[in-house]
Structure 1
């Protein structure tokens, strides 16, 4: 009998239960979907790293020999060690001269290649193994002869294999680039015997440590073993490719907790409202069941099953859909940014815990919602409920109340006497606005990066890149010829209170093309004598302006201790910045790596000795804007979720409110109020609740956007920004959804039967 009653109640209250079902479905769809994507991405990358034995530590400094490799292997807890020399070169291709990182390796024990096509690498084998993205874009195939240029020396290598390497899961061709453009540059692996000219030695030792060993302990042991001031040791968390992917995974995990909480919170409020109203309306039925001998425990279990059944069904269906849909959508876009051999979905224990949590919360909320009617004895329950003791509020006793028109008084009284229903409406609208603000804010924030980078911070139109042979004389000559500004951009290591990070060192000569902004995005000039630290690096090192930080350029063993005189913000290339005078006062040789100019260099300049290439910032800006295609997916999902949330919540509340106010509406009709007037009264209340929700949702949306921007990679800085147009569009979208729902519901006023409603 109770089962038949359960299904009959579901059909009778289908609108309210459908909203609970949809909120549970959407919440678990996002939660499980992002968990499956993030967990699968973590497992896919870990499998790739394990398969190719990604290095745990990188030793850099002076040139290393085979004896240094043996010394590293003799260090306690070091399992394997490999030698590598990495140089910048260019490939001579019909489409131009794309840059390439050439890696001359002693073996493949650590950070080995994943062979996709061709023959495996063997020591002493002539040829080059190139990355698959470069081969695809440049049309390189096995057996082709690739012409390479290193320091004005051309040499040819047959292509032996197409590969991937775990250190190049994410990489850019230049530190100034924010987004990868794979295939426009590439990397390759060769035997040291293929080096053009006399082999100078290796610049890196890649170390694989024992699983049970601690990173810091092995670092100390290696420092003692080498006893060299030139040694620089970095770990995985300081390796750009590994750290960027790791930050992306953590960001998606955070998103998987933030967004579902909105839907699940609405679902909980829906259960409270629906079950409280249902048990109140079924008071006589509950009393009859008690009189027929049904125990309180059995009746309680019956009503608790309403919330559990609906929410768990929605959660299970949402979990299945999320597992299959969300990873597929994200992987199809992220495969253009991260280079992994496989993309697998997988679930963590959090997904199962989420399902259990939904069931437990639903049961608890349903239990509390129906306890009021179940506490009474059968005799009391069979009696009609005592009329509510209604007190006039302070507002109703004030003179202001008397000045209000009838519709305002009616709506205010209804809101004050149905606080939970009204609060749920405000929260639902706020959630809708919040998601819309966050969606459009993501678009605005990312879109503004290009303008911020290439119109505010760097006002040049051309960047002439210099190689290691360029030197200050060539840089000065180009700066004079093209009225340019010389800069130094190189990798550096930073340390404070035991926290070590790698980033970028920037030194700027006199000029007006390279600009700096403080955390408030106000332009500032670099001070002499001190260093400026980027905002994200300051957060990573947990230091503030006025404190000290230790740093040194990668490849230079001399550590410097400098006071932080300024904090500046920059979208990419986190680290420190200083003037040329400050740089040279530290006994560092100012060897410019680039010259910034607004002039167009003469044809063929990029082929000259000492010049690595020429970049057009307009092309870089266009390339960044093209990556917005990946943002459209996120924006679209958030907008769709906001519309569904707003529609479901507002329709549910509107239907619930309409049912509860049927008697009052019928009374107004009897008193002579026309249908149009009654619809206007109902729409006014809807407008008030919507306006309150929008005002609450705007700061919540900005806070959610700020949390997302703050969770991106340490190497990038994105300032949350929501344009006025986006705010207006979000508010208008919420109002449109609200007005549409209210229009549908208020149209039912003419269908109310007066006799039946007033019984």
Structure 2
């Protein structure tokens, strides 16, 4: 076997171009699957760890008012372990907007990046989110000025935080991506809400911990017409987008890995077939020296082990770089304290599967060529037997096809494996090209269409009272009303209802 191993290395060196395609397909199979798995599983672990450590609530209800009676009814529901009410307001900071929440005892705990932990007794302290602080160069003990009802309110930054309810924070339902330079979120105490913002209105938001079989219907019964919106972890965009992204990256890893593995099978099979057809005299010598059919088959199968194993090992080494690259892109969108890549045992199964597939495809390609006496192989390459293909039965069609076309059609059906390999290769390449080039173009087109055709405004204002604002500013051009809504029958999701006058 020592001489067979030397022959293996020599054959790989002499036919490196053909074997490089197998190496590349095996490498890409592992890089795509393992690299993307490290990203999606790492994102899943990072989000899951953040959610568990911060005791994220399960449901969120917004209402025009939340009373003590409402809170008692929610807490009495089966499966509910805790429910806390609070107040949510939007204030203006220079030309930017900050959404402020005030809870006595928040269920979803913020992760403190810098500063002190949230204090529900603080009168002038504020806890601002990390990304907004970074964009506006805010530090602990800085003073923030907010405009509220034509007066200026001062808050001192007590902490810079990240909250699990704002993992994918866009600031407004109309935005599909975070805009931290213009929108931020913050937390203050109920005391500061009254003393600083001079707010004495009702609470308008509830956080609920637990699981109820039909919480949405229960909240609709409790709040009636006062209900503004209901969200669960699967429907709240700030949370669900992060959870959905895990599934999207996972599906991509399965899809493209399958394509590359299939190409690796076909590349190895056709490569070994070509190699065997050029080595009939060597196979005859092996058999004359006493090597069995199995030993010869194992020798050619070792090409799959060597090339497939080398490609898989190289792909495994490169994969963490791909994982971190993908996660770095996700960090621009999601607000999570700690990021890490993570893998499962399926990585080992995929590596073994890729190597085994390469070995098996090489062995099957060699099996038919190892049968027969040495004298048969010494004759050289066997003549291909010609036979009619099914199209030739339709003489009225076949006779009208040019001779070159008949040759091409026969060649396709005789070399079915190579044809299949070409089809899959072209299909996979087109898929990658469309995904890589077409998707960004489509997204840019949607953005351009939205802000050049659908919406043509230069500025937009959010006001609490349109009638009062229109009286004070008669030059206002057009009003637009944005309200949460849901379908009947209910699918569990909140929709954004946009109402504007024609003309």
Indicate the TM-score class for this superposition, using the shorter chain for normalisation.
Answer: 0.7 to 0.9
Partners of 2:218 and 2:444 in 1: CA distance: 47
Query: In structure 1, what is the equivalent of residue 33 of structure 2?
Result: 31
Which of the residues 342, 349, 353 maps onto 1:353? 349
Which of the residues 324, 336, 342 maps onto 1:340? 336
Question: What's the CA shift string for 1:210-242, capped at 9, x where partnerless?
Answer: xxxx54256667778x58664564211110111
Kept in 2: contact 1:137–1:184 (CA 8 A): no
* Residues 1:59 and 1:291: Cα distance change in structure 2 (over 3 Å): same
Mapped pair 1:474 → 2:469 = yes
Query: In structure 1, what is the equivalent of residue 286 of structure 2?
Result: 289
Alpha-carbon shift at residue 507 of structure 1 (Å)? 1.4
- 3-state DSSP class of the match of 2:213? helix
Alpha-carbon shift at residue 380 of structure 1 (Å)? 4.5
Shifted more, 410-419 versus 309-318: the winner is 410-419
* Residues 1:419 and 1:121: Cα distance change in structure 2 (over 3 Å): closer
Kept in 1: contact 2:78–2:212 (CA 8 A): no
Mapped pair 1:129 → 2:131 = no
Kept in 2: contact 1:82–1:107 (CA 8 A): yes
Aligned residues: 491
Shifted more, 61-70 versus 148-157: the winner is 61-70
* Residues 1:257 and 1:188: Cα distance change in structure 2 (over 3 Å): same
Kept in 1: contact 2:144–2:157 (CA 8 A): yes
* Residues 1:8 and 1:63: Cα distance change in structure 2 (over 3 Å): same
Q: How does 1:421-440 map to 2 (within 5 A)?
A: 421-425=418-422, 427-440=424-437
Partners of 1:82 and 1:500 in 2: CA distance: 22
Alpha-carbon shift at residue 349 of structure 1 (Å)? 3.8
Partners of 1:143 and 1:399 in 2: CA distance: 87
- 3-state DSSP class of the match of 1:374? coil
Partners of 1:319 and 1:371 in 2: CA distance: 30
Kept in 1: contact 2:60–2:205 (CA 8 A): yes
Partners of 1:412 and 1:217 in 2: CA distance: 61
Q: How does 1:713-732 map to 2 (within 5 A)?
A: none
Alpha-carbon shift at residue 381 of structure 1 (Å)? 4.7
- 3-state DSSP class of the match of 2:486? strand
Kept in 2: contact 1:193–1:199 (CA 8 A): no
Query: In structure 2, what is the equivalent of residue 200 of structure 1?
Result: 201
Q: How does 1:53-132 map to 2 (within 5 A)?
A: 53-65=55-67, 68-91=70-93, 96-108=94-106, 110-126=107-123, 127-132=125-130
Partners of 1:336 and 1:70 in 2: CA distance: 40
Alpha-carbon shift at residue 302 of structure 1 (Å)? 2.4
Q: Which runs of 5+ in 1 are unaligned?
A: 512-759
Partners of 2:218 and 2:430 in 1: CA distance: 55
Query: In structure 2, what is the equivalent of residue 266 of structure 1?
Result: 263
Partners of 1:101 and 1:137 in 2: CA distance: 16
Question: What's the CA shift string for 1:558-579, capped at 9, x where partnerless?
Answer: xxxxxxxxxxxxxxxxxxxxxx
Which of the residues 246, 249, 274 maps onto 1:249? 246
Query: In structure 2, what is the equivalent of residue 491 of structure 1?
Result: 484
Kept in 2: contact 1:87–1:103 (CA 8 A): yes
Query: In structure 1, what is the equivalent of residue 384 of structure 2?
Result: 388
* Residues 1:354 and 1:207: Cα distance change in structure 2 (over 3 Å): same
Partners of 1:457 and 1:200 in 2: CA distance: 37
Alpha-carbon shift at residue 39 of structure 1 (Å)? 0.8
Q: How does 1:504-519 map to 2 (within 5 A)?
A: 504-511=496-503
Partners of 2:51 and 2:261 in 1: CA distance: 36
- 3-state DSSP class of the match of 1:333? helix
Kept in 2: contact 1:78–1:218 (CA 8 A): no
Query: In structure 2, what is the equivalent of residue 237 of structure 1?
Result: 234
Query: In structure 2, what is the equivalent of residue 648 of structure 1?
Result: none
Partners of 1:190 and 1:373 in 2: CA distance: 78
Mapped pair 1:20 → 2:14 = no
Query: In structure 1, what is the equivalent of residue 364 of structure 2?
Result: 368
Kept in 1: contact 2:34–2:347 (CA 8 A): yes
Mapped pair 1:502 → 2:494 = yes
Partners of 1:222 and 1:298 in 2: CA distance: 73
Query: In structure 2, what is the equivalent of residue 706 of structure 1?
Result: none
Mapped pair 1:319 → 2:316 = yes
Task: Normalising by structure 1, report the TM-score.
Answer: 0.59
* Residues 1:364 and 1:476: Cα distance change in structure 2 (over 3 Å): farther
Partners of 2:274 and 2:36 in 1: CA distance: 35
Alpha-carbon shift at residue 185 of structure 1 (Å)? 2.1
Q: How does 1:607-756 map to 2 (within 5 A)?
A: none
Task: Normalising by structure 2, report the TM-score.
Answer: 0.87
The two structures, once aligned, show a CA RMSD in angstroms of 3.1
Query: In structure 2, what is the equivalent of residue 331 of structure 1?
Result: 327
* Residues 1:38 and 1:267: Cα distance change in structure 2 (over 3 Å): same
Q: Which runs of 5+ in 2 are unaligned?
A: none
Query: In structure 2, what is the equivalent of residue 697 of structure 1?
Result: none
Kept in 1: contact 2:60–2:206 (CA 8 A): yes
Which of the residues 186, 189, 206 maps onto 2:187? 189
